Amino acid sequence: MESINTALPQISIVSLFFQRIKKLLQLDSLQSMNQFQKLPSSIQPGISSKMTMQQFKKNVKKNYIVFIPIILVAIVILFTISSFLGRTSKSSVQGARDQRVSINKPLAVEELHKAYSFKVTDVFGKEQKVKYEIQNAELRDQIVLRGQPVVAVKGREFVIINLKIVNDATVNLGINTREYLRLIVDGSSDKLAPEIHNDPVQVQAISTKLTRVGFAIDDTASKLVLQVGEISGKKEKIELHLQQK
Protein backbone atom coordinates (compact mmCIF):
# COMPACT_ATOMS: atom_id res chain seq x y z
CA MET A 1 0.00 0.00 0.00
CA GLU A 2 2.88 2.38 0.77
CA SER A 3 4.42 1.80 -2.70
CA ILE A 4 1.06 2.60 -4.39
CA ASN A 5 0.73 5.84 -2.40
CA THR A 6 4.25 6.86 -3.43
CA ALA A 7 3.51 6.16 -7.10
CA LEU A 8 0.33 8.30 -7.23
CA PRO A 9 2.08 11.70 -6.87
CA GLN A 10 4.58 10.64 -9.58
CA ILE A 11 1.73 9.79 -12.02
CA SER A 12 0.03 13.12 -11.24
CA ILE A 13 3.24 15.06 -11.97
CA VAL A 14 3.74 13.28 -15.31
CA SER A 15 0.08 13.83 -16.26
CA LEU A 16 0.20 17.55 -15.42
CA PHE A 17 3.45 17.96 -17.35
CA PHE A 18 2.09 16.43 -20.55
CA GLN A 19 -1.18 18.36 -20.23
CA ARG A 20 0.87 21.55 -20.07
CA ILE A 21 2.86 20.58 -23.18
CA LYS A 22 -0.36 19.73 -25.00
CA LYS A 23 -1.87 23.13 -24.18
CA LEU A 24 1.25 24.91 -25.41
CA LEU A 25 1.15 22.98 -28.68
CA GLN A 26 -2.56 23.66 -29.13
CA LEU A 27 -2.05 27.35 -28.43
CA ASP A 28 0.81 27.60 -30.88
CA SER A 29 -1.17 25.76 -33.58
CA LEU A 30 -4.15 28.02 -32.96
CA GLN A 31 -1.99 31.10 -33.36
CA SER A 32 -0.64 29.76 -36.65
CA MET A 33 -4.20 29.05 -37.83
CA ASN A 34 -5.32 32.57 -36.87
CA GLN A 35 -2.48 34.03 -38.88
CA PHE A 36 -3.52 31.90 -41.81
CA GLN A 37 -7.15 33.00 -41.53
CA LYS A 38 -6.18 36.69 -41.42
CA LEU A 39 -4.67 36.55 -44.92
CA PRO A 40 -6.29 39.01 -47.40
CA SER A 41 -9.41 37.66 -49.07
CA SER A 42 -8.03 38.90 -52.39
CA ILE A 43 -5.64 35.98 -52.47
CA GLN A 44 -7.01 33.55 -55.05
CA PRO A 45 -6.39 29.86 -55.11
CA GLY A 46 -3.09 29.26 -56.75
CA ILE A 47 0.58 29.28 -56.05
CA SER A 48 0.38 31.90 -53.24
CA SER A 49 -2.33 30.05 -51.32
CA LYS A 50 -0.48 26.73 -51.75
CA MET A 51 2.70 28.31 -50.44
CA THR A 52 0.79 29.76 -47.49
CA MET A 53 -0.74 26.37 -46.62
CA GLN A 54 2.65 24.68 -46.91
CA GLN A 55 4.18 27.33 -44.67
CA PHE A 56 1.41 26.81 -42.11
CA LYS A 57 2.00 23.04 -42.05
CA LYS A 58 5.74 23.60 -41.86
CA ASN A 59 5.34 25.93 -38.86
CA VAL A 60 3.15 23.45 -37.03
CA LYS A 61 5.60 20.60 -37.72
CA LYS A 62 8.52 22.80 -36.67
CA ASN A 63 6.82 23.66 -33.37
CA TYR A 64 6.31 19.98 -32.57
CA ILE A 65 9.97 19.21 -33.41
CA VAL A 66 11.16 21.95 -31.04
CA PHE A 67 9.34 20.31 -28.12
CA ILE A 68 10.63 16.76 -28.78
CA PRO A 69 14.04 17.23 -27.01
CA ILE A 70 12.27 18.88 -24.06
CA ILE A 71 9.83 15.99 -23.79
CA LEU A 72 12.65 13.42 -23.97
CA VAL A 73 14.68 15.19 -21.27
CA ALA A 74 11.58 15.48 -19.08
CA ILE A 75 10.85 11.76 -19.48
CA VAL A 76 14.41 10.84 -18.48
CA ILE A 77 14.26 13.11 -15.41
CA LEU A 78 10.87 11.82 -14.33
CA PHE A 79 11.96 8.20 -14.82
CA THR A 80 15.08 8.81 -12.70
CA ILE A 81 13.07 10.44 -9.91
CA SER A 82 10.46 7.67 -10.05
CA SER A 83 13.13 4.94 -9.80
CA PHE A 84 14.84 6.67 -6.86
CA LEU A 85 11.58 7.16 -4.96
CA GLY A 86 10.58 3.58 -5.68
CA ARG A 87 13.86 2.20 -4.29
CA THR A 88 13.62 4.45 -1.23
CA SER A 89 10.04 3.40 -0.57
CA LYS A 90 10.90 -0.29 -0.99
CA SER A 91 13.86 -0.14 1.37
CA SER A 92 11.76 1.77 3.92
CA VAL A 93 9.04 -0.87 3.81
CA GLN A 94 11.58 -3.70 4.12
CA GLY A 95 13.27 -1.93 7.03
CA ALA A 96 9.92 -1.50 8.78
CA ARG A 97 9.16 -5.20 8.46
CA ASP A 98 11.93 -6.42 10.75
CA GLN A 99 14.20 -4.15 12.76
CA ARG A 100 15.29 -6.74 15.30
CA VAL A 101 18.97 -6.99 16.20
CA SER A 102 20.65 -10.22 15.10
CA ILE A 103 23.70 -11.72 16.86
CA ASN A 104 25.76 -14.90 16.63
CA LYS A 105 24.50 -18.12 18.18
CA PRO A 106 26.01 -19.23 21.52
CA LEU A 107 29.35 -21.01 21.34
CA ALA A 108 28.09 -23.40 24.03
CA VAL A 109 24.98 -23.89 26.18
CA GLU A 110 24.49 -25.83 29.42
CA GLU A 111 21.05 -26.41 30.91
CA LEU A 112 20.97 -25.94 34.71
CA HIS A 113 17.42 -25.32 36.01
CA LYS A 114 18.47 -24.61 39.58
CA ALA A 115 15.79 -22.89 41.71
CA TYR A 116 16.30 -20.84 44.90
CA SER A 117 14.17 -18.70 47.18
CA PHE A 118 15.48 -15.31 48.29
CA LYS A 119 14.02 -12.58 50.48
CA VAL A 120 13.55 -9.04 49.20
CA THR A 121 11.94 -5.98 50.76
CA ASP A 122 8.90 -4.39 49.13
CA VAL A 123 8.05 -0.67 49.03
CA PHE A 124 6.26 -0.97 52.38
CA GLY A 125 9.36 -2.33 54.11
CA LYS A 126 7.94 -5.82 54.38
CA GLU A 127 9.98 -8.90 53.44
CA GLN A 128 8.73 -10.93 50.50
CA LYS A 129 10.09 -14.09 48.88
CA VAL A 130 10.94 -14.44 45.21
CA LYS A 131 11.80 -17.56 43.27
CA TYR A 132 15.22 -17.21 41.63
CA GLU A 133 15.75 -19.84 38.92
CA ILE A 134 18.98 -20.29 36.96
CA GLN A 135 17.76 -21.65 33.65
CA ASN A 136 21.00 -22.13 31.72
CA ALA A 137 24.51 -20.84 31.08
CA GLU A 138 25.80 -19.70 27.69
CA LEU A 139 29.25 -19.02 26.29
CA ARG A 140 29.11 -16.21 23.74
CA ASP A 141 31.37 -13.98 21.67
CA GLN A 142 28.58 -11.48 20.96
CA ILE A 143 25.71 -10.10 23.04
CA VAL A 144 23.02 -7.41 22.88
CA LEU A 145 23.58 -4.50 25.23
CA ARG A 146 21.13 -1.58 25.41
CA GLY A 147 19.59 -2.73 22.15
CA GLN A 148 22.91 -2.83 20.26
CA PRO A 149 25.13 -5.82 19.36
CA VAL A 150 28.42 -5.92 21.29
CA VAL A 151 31.33 -8.11 20.19
CA ALA A 152 33.89 -9.40 22.69
CA VAL A 153 37.42 -8.08 22.23
CA LYS A 154 40.01 -10.53 20.98
CA GLY A 155 40.95 -13.02 23.69
CA ARG A 156 37.75 -12.50 25.69
CA GLU A 157 34.32 -14.18 25.87
CA PHE A 158 31.05 -13.72 27.70
CA VAL A 159 29.48 -16.14 30.16
CA ILE A 160 25.75 -15.39 30.22
CA ILE A 161 23.45 -16.75 32.96
CA ASN A 162 19.77 -16.69 31.99
CA LEU A 163 17.39 -16.24 34.93
CA LYS A 164 13.69 -16.55 35.65
CA ILE A 165 12.37 -14.48 38.58
CA VAL A 166 8.92 -15.40 39.94
CA ASN A 167 6.98 -13.03 42.21
CA ASP A 168 3.98 -14.67 43.90
CA ALA A 169 3.31 -11.64 46.11
CA THR A 170 0.47 -9.20 45.51
CA VAL A 171 2.85 -6.22 45.37
CA ASN A 172 5.53 -5.22 42.87
CA LEU A 173 9.07 -6.20 43.83
CA GLY A 174 12.53 -5.02 42.81
CA ILE A 175 15.56 -7.31 42.94
CA ASN A 176 19.27 -6.87 42.23
CA THR A 177 19.92 -10.17 40.49
CA ARG A 178 23.70 -9.71 40.36
CA GLU A 179 23.97 -9.85 44.16
CA TYR A 180 23.33 -13.60 44.24
CA LEU A 181 25.94 -14.82 41.73
CA ARG A 182 29.74 -14.94 41.62
CA LEU A 183 32.03 -16.65 39.11
CA ILE A 184 35.28 -18.41 40.03
CA VAL A 185 37.68 -18.89 37.10
CA ASP A 186 40.36 -21.61 37.06
CA GLY A 187 40.32 -22.05 40.85
CA SER A 188 41.25 -18.44 41.56
CA SER A 189 40.54 -16.94 44.97
CA ASP A 190 38.97 -13.98 43.17
CA LYS A 191 35.22 -14.06 42.72
CA LEU A 192 33.87 -12.13 39.77
CA ALA A 193 30.60 -10.23 40.08
CA PRO A 194 28.40 -9.89 36.98
CA GLU A 195 29.34 -6.91 34.81
CA ILE A 196 26.31 -7.34 32.56
CA HIS A 197 22.89 -7.00 34.18
CA ASN A 198 19.52 -5.25 34.08
CA ASP A 199 19.36 -4.33 37.78
CA PRO A 200 17.25 -3.37 39.50
CA VAL A 201 14.85 -5.84 37.90
CA GLN A 202 11.22 -4.89 38.54
CA VAL A 203 8.84 -7.85 38.82
CA GLN A 204 5.14 -7.06 38.78
CA ALA A 205 2.78 -8.60 41.33
CA ILE A 206 1.98 -12.27 40.70
CA SER A 207 4.16 -12.45 37.58
CA THR A 208 7.33 -13.91 36.09
CA LYS A 209 10.25 -11.92 34.68
CA LEU A 210 12.99 -13.29 32.42
CA THR A 211 16.37 -11.58 32.65
CA ARG A 212 20.10 -12.34 32.58
CA VAL A 213 23.49 -11.49 34.03
CA GLY A 214 26.88 -11.85 32.40
CA PHE A 215 30.62 -12.08 33.01
CA ALA A 216 33.54 -11.23 30.71
CA ILE A 217 36.33 -13.84 30.91
CA ASP A 218 39.49 -14.86 29.06
CA ASP A 219 38.82 -17.31 26.24
CA THR A 220 41.63 -19.51 27.63
CA ALA A 221 39.70 -20.22 30.86
CA SER A 222 39.16 -23.96 31.32
CA LYS A 223 37.36 -24.27 34.67
CA LEU A 224 34.32 -22.22 35.62
CA VAL A 225 32.45 -22.46 38.93
CA LEU A 226 29.28 -20.48 39.62
CA GLN A 227 28.64 -19.55 43.25
CA VAL A 228 24.98 -18.94 44.18
CA GLY A 229 23.53 -17.47 47.37
CA GLU A 230 22.75 -14.37 49.40
CA ILE A 231 25.72 -12.17 50.27
CA SER A 232 25.50 -13.02 53.99
CA GLY A 233 23.92 -16.45 53.55
CA LYS A 234 24.81 -19.96 52.56
CA LYS A 235 26.44 -20.49 49.15
CA GLU A 236 26.18 -23.30 46.62
CA LYS A 237 28.79 -23.94 43.95
CA ILE A 238 27.87 -25.17 40.48
CA GLU A 239 30.61 -26.33 38.15
CA LEU A 240 29.96 -25.24 34.58
CA HIS A 241 30.81 -27.37 31.56
CA LEU A 242 30.62 -24.98 28.65
CA GLN A 243 32.32 -26.87 25.86
CA GLN A 244 32.41 -25.05 22.54
CA LYS A 245 30.53 -26.75 19.73
Domain edges within the chain: 2-97, 108-240
Per-residue pLDDT, 113: 97
Taking phi over 0 as left and psi of -120 to 50 as alpha, with beta for the rest, 208 belongs to beta
Across residues 117-131, what is the average pLDDT? 96
Q: Does residue 85 surpass a pLDDT of 50? A: yes
Per-residue pLDDT, 73: 77
Neighbours of 45 (CB within 10 A): 7
- pTM beyond cutoff 0.85: no
- Alpha-carbon gap, residue 160 to 154, rounded angstroms: 18
Q: Does residue 96 surpass a pLDDT of 90? A: no
Q: Is the CB of residue 37 less than 8 Å from the CB of residue 52? A: no
Q: What is the CATH number of domain 108-240?
A: 2.60.40
Provide the 3-class DSSP secondary structure of residue 161: strand
DSSP E strand stretches across 9-141: 108-121, 127-140
- Alpha-carbon gap, residue 134 to 136, rounded angstroms: 6
Per-residue pLDDT, 154: 94
Query: Residue 212 belongs to what H/E stretch?
Result: strand 207-218
